[in-house]
A and B are shown apart, each in its own frame.
Chain A
Amino acid sequence: MRSRTALAALLVLAIALPARPGEPASFQVIVHPSNSVSTFTREHLTRLFLKRSTTWEDGAPVVPVDQPESSEVRGQFTRKVLGKSMSAVRSYWQQRIFSGKDVPPLQRASDEEVIAYVRQNPGAVGYVSAGAAPAGVKVIPVQD
C-alpha cells in the first residue's frame, strides 16, 4: 500500500513538474543554409532570443524569429532553452519596450512561416516543432 502511494506521488510529481532542459527536445532550431554555425548552447540561444547578443561571429546581424505565445513549440522552447516561464519573458519584453531599449523578436504564425522566413534571411534563427520538415534551412543541434 505504501509503495503504491509512493508510486502515485511520483507520477503526480512527474506530471506536475515543468519540463527540464535534459528532456528530449520537442523542437528544432534552424538557421539559413549559409550560416556557419554548427551547434548552439542553450546560453547562446538565450542571448540571441533575448537580444542580448545581436551579431553572428562574422559580424552579421542576428534576426531571431519567435512563434506565437499560445503555440506549444514556443512554450517548450521558452522553458527548455531560455529556462524561463512565459510570464517572465513577457515581463522582460514589456520592460524593454516601454523603456525604449528594444522590441521583441519578430513573430511568425506557424512552423511553415518560420521556415520560409529563415530560408529567405541569412541572419535569421528560428525554431519549429520536432515533427516539422524544415526544407531549405539548416537544423542546428542544441547542447546544454
Chain B
Amino acid sequence: MLTWRKVALVAALGATAIAPRARAVELADGKLSINGFGRWDYGRTLVGTNHYAEASPGGHYDSGQLALAFSSRLTDRATVATQVDLHADQRGIEVDWVFGEWKFSDQVRLQVGIFKHPLGLYGEVIDVGTLHPFGHLPQGIYGPTELVVEGVKGVGLNGAAYDRDGWTLSYDAYLGALEYLVDEPFDRLLAPQSLQPGRALELEDEDARETLGGRLTLATPVEGLSFRLSGYGNWVRSDETGLRWVLGPSVEYASDRLTVQAEYFHRHDVSVLRIHTGYVLASYFLTEHLQVALRGEVSETELLALTEGSPLLRHRELAAGVNWWFTPSLVVKLSIHGIDGNRLAKPEMLDDALLDGTLTPTTVAVFGGTSFSF
C-alpha cells in the first residue's frame, strides 16, 4: 500500500537526483513555473521525557514533507498561484496557499485568496529548509505560539514603495482571517482543578477573523543587511480572549559565508497575557559545503491572572548545528538543543506530570535530517 511516508521518500529521492541542477520546471515559455521543496527530519529527546518540535523520547521519524508550488502567468498583470503540501504524518495533503494576483503597478499588487503570512524573516517560508540552518525555526516565534499562521485568508497588497540608491522599502498589508494552531497549557495553571489523569495535550485550532496587519522591509545599500517591522491586530474568537496584537522587529545580515539574524516579537492578548519572544542566530560556512550554526532563544509568557511563575511559561534554548551542503539546494543537518522550560517542551501526558509533580524543565534533544528545494 502506498503511504504518504513512501510518497515523501520517493519524492525526496527524486529531488535528490535532480538537485544538482536545482532548476524549476518552466513550461509554456515561462508562463507556468513549478518549484518545490522537501524535508525529512529525525528528532530524539536525549535528556528528559519531554516532546519538543519533532523530537520525542523514543525518536520521531514521521516528519517527511514535500511541497510543490505552481505559478501561472495568465497575462502580464494577472497571475494565479498555489502550493500543495504532502506530509508524511496525519496531516496528509494541505493547500498552503492559493490566490490570484493582479498587478496594478510595481508599487501595488493585489492578492486575493489564501496567501502566506508576511511576518518576520520567515513567516512565508517556514518549512523551506534550504533557507535556514536548523531543521526547524525558532519555536517561540514560528512554532505553535499563535504568532504566525500557515496562511492568511483574505486580501493583501504588496509592492516596493521606494527603490533608489541601493535602498529598497517594500511593504505587505493584509486584511482577513487567521487560523492558529494552539498549543497553550495555560488553563492548567489557571484552573489546576481541571487537571485530568491520562489527558494528553492536544493541538487545537483557533480562529481570528478580523485581522489587519502588515510588514515593512528595508533593504540597505550594505549588501545583505535588511530590517523588518511586522505586526497585526485582530479579534480572537474564543471564550477567553478578545483583542490581540503582535508586533516585532527583525534584522538580518547575510553574506556568502556569514549570516546573523535577530528577531523579537511581543504578543499581547488584552487583559489575558503578554508574550515576549526572540532569538539571535549566527551561522558560518567554514568551507563551501560545511556550515556551523548557533542559536539562542528566549520566550517568556506572562499570564495576567497569575502572579507566580511556572516552567510552563518559559522557554530558553541554546542550539548548535552543523550542516553539509551538497549543493545550495540540498543539505543534511544535525543539531543539538538544550532547553529550559516547558512552554514548548512538554511531556506527552502533561496532566499526569503536573499531578505527580514530575514535570522536568530540562530537555536535551537532537535533530538530524535533510532539506532540498528546486
Interface residues of A (CB under 8 A from B): 43, 47, 52-55, 61, 69, 83-85, 87-88, 90-91, 94-95, 97-101, 103-104, 106-107
Residues of A within 8 Å of B26, CB to CB, are: 106-107
Give Cα distance in the complex from A83 to B166, angstroms: 10
Tell me whether B367 is interfacial, beta carbon within 8 Å.
no
Q: How far is the CB of B286 from chain A (nearest CB, A)?
A: 15
Q: How far is the CB of B71 from chain A (nearest CB, A)?
A: 5
Tell me whether B103 is interfacial, beta carbon within 8 Å.
yes
Cβ contact within 8 Å between B254 and A88? yes
Give Cα distance in the complex from A103 to B128, angstroms: 16
Residues of B within 8 Å of A91, CB to CB, are: 131, 254
A52 with B163, Cβ < 8 A, contacts A85-B256, A94-B373, A98-B37 known: yes
Interface residues of B (CB under 8 A from A): 22-24, 26, 29-30, 33, 35, 37, 67, 69, 71, 76, 81, 83, 97, 99, 103, 106, 111, 115-116, 118, 124-125, 128, 130-131, 158, 160, 163-166, 168, 223-224, 254-256, 328, 373
Q: How many A-B residue pairs have CB under 8 A?
A: 83
What 4 additional pairs, Cβ within 8 angstroms, besides A98-B125, A103-B30?
A98-B131, A100-B71, A100-B115, A101-B158
Give Cα distance in the complex from A47 to B162, angstroms: 12
Cβ contact within 8 Å between B35 and A98? yes
Cβ contact within 8 Å between B125 and A103? no
Residues of B within 8 Å of A101, CB to CB, are: 158
Residues of A within 8 Å of B254, CB to CB, are: 88, 91
Nearest 10 interchain pairs by C-beta: A99-B124, A103-B33, A61-B76, A106-B30, A100-B81, A85-B256, A98-B125, A97-B35, A99-B116, A98-B128
Cβ contact within 8 Å between B69 and A100? yes
Cβ contact within 8 Å between A94 and B128? yes
Residues of B within 8 Å of A106, CB to CB, are: 26, 29-30
Q: How far is the CB of B356 from chain A (nearest CB, A)?
A: 44
Residues of A within 8 Å of B83, CB to CB, are: 98, 100
Could you list 12 A-B pairs, sorted by A, with CB under 8 Å? A52-B168, A54-B106, A55-B106, A85-B223, A85-B255, A90-B328, A99-B115, A100-B124, A103-B30, A103-B33, A103-B71, A107-B23
Cβ contact within 8 Å between B24 and A99? no
Q: How far is the CB of A104 from chain B (nearest CB, A)?
A: 7
Q: How far is the CB of A58 from chain B (nearest CB, A)?
A: 13
A98 with B124, Cβ < 8 A, contacts A43-B164, A91-B254 known: yes
Q: Which of B116, B125, B130: most chain A Cβ within 10 A?
A: B125
Residues of A within 8 Å of B103, CB to CB, are: 54
Residues of B within 8 Å of A90, CB to CB, are: 328
Cβ contact within 8 Å between A98 and B223? no
Nearest A residue to B115 via CB reads: A100
